[in-house]
Amino acid sequence: MGVMLSRLIGMTLGNYSNGATLIMGAFGGTAAIFTVMASIATVSKKDFSGMSKFLFIGVILLILASLANIWLQIPALMLTLMVVAIAIFSAFILVDVQRVVNGGETNYVIATLGIYLSVYNIFSNLLALLGIFGGDRD
């Protein structure tokens, strides 16, 4: 994952004159999403654990649509998949943080890995979206 993220960051810095700004924007957006979702998870009395099955199905559909888009090459589908990925993994942060806070997760390695993967996917998709819409080519 680090190799893939380093390529994405390297391409952003190398191909866009405002690459550092895009990376910091993606970092700030990811931090804001994480803060909001973690705050909701800790304050809300509602149980979000029922969402996990639907989110998992959403990830499977996201993977299948991404594989289909390798051959279809539809730019609008790619953008839609990025936005949907950000939404799905934001909801996963909500579910995972609430599970940790309420004591439903006792294996903190798995809990940390789940939250890390969500943050990683949000950051990478947000950086790609910012590069598409806000990138100044050299």
Domain extent listing, the chain: 2-134
Higher pLDDT, 60 or 102: 60
Residue 129 has pLDDT above 90, yes or no: yes
Rounded to an integer, the average pLDDT of 61-76 is 95
Q: Is 107 exposed, middle or buried (0-12, 13-18, 19+ CB in 10 A)?
A: exposed
Q: What does pTM read for this prediction?
A: 0.91
Q: Which residues, other chains included, contact 51 with Cβ-Cβ below 8 Å and sequence gap of 6+?
A: 91, 94, 95
